[in-house]
Amino acid sequence: MNTRTFILTGIVCLLVCTSTLFAGEIIPGQMIVSASTNSLDLSKTSISGIVKVDSIKGANLYLISFPPTVSSNTVSEQLEKMKGVLKFEPNRRIRMPDVRQIGIVQPDVENQGVYTKGSDPDEFYEQTAVETIKLDSAHITATGEDVIVAVIDNGIDTNHPLFESTLTDSMYDFVDDDSSPVEDSGSAYGHGTFVSGLVLLAAPDCEIMPIRAFDEDGNGTYYDVASAIYYAIDNGANVINMSFGSPDTSSVLLDACQEAFEEGIAMVAAAGNDSSSTVLYPAGYPWVTTVNSIDSVDVIASFSNYGSHTDICAPGENLYSSIPGDTLWGIWSGTSFSAALVSGVCALMIDDDPSLTTDPIRYRLRSEAETSLDWGTVYPHDNYYGYGCLDADASVDYEVGEGVYICGDVNADGIVNSDDIYDLTDYVFYGSPTPDPLNSADIDGEIGIDIDDIVFLGNYVAGTGDEPDCSD
Which residues are marked as active site?
153, 191, 336
What values do phi and psi take at 15, rounded to 5? -95, 95
Contact between 373 and 383 (Cβ < 8 Å): no
Enumerate the β-bridge partners of residue 467.
none
For residue 16, the number of C-alpha atoms closer than 13 Å in the C-beta half-sphere is 4
In order of 71, 175, 461, the CA distances from 464 in angstroms are 29, 29, 8
Q: Sort 69 into a burial class: Cβ within 10 Å, 0-12 / 13-18 / 19+.
A: exposed
DSSP classification of residue 2: -
In order of 79, 105, 195, 344, the CA distances from 303 in angstroms are 42, 15, 18, 23
For residue 268, give the H/E element and its range.
strand 266-270
- Nearest Cα to 24, choosing from 274, 248, 227? 248
**Terminal alpha carbon distance of the chain:** 62
Q: Cα–Cα distance between 149 and 343 in angstroms, integer?
A: 7
Enumerate the β-bridge partners of residue 442.
none
Q: Cα–Cα distance between 409 and 436 in angstroms, integer?
A: 8
With a CB cutoff of 8 Å and minimum separation 6, the contacts of 430 are none
Contact between 358 and 267 (Cβ < 8 Å): yes
Q: Cα–Cα distance between 211 and 237 in angstroms, integer?
A: 11
Q: Cα–Cα distance between 149 and 168 in angstroms, integer?
A: 9
3-state helix, strand, coil in the chain (%, to 5): 30, 20, 50
- Nearest Cα to 166, choosing from 136, 192, 196? 196
The sign of the dihedral angle between the CA atoms of 336, 341, 342, 346 is positive
Enumerate the β-bridge partners of residue 376.
373
Contact between 464 and 258 (Cβ < 8 Å): no
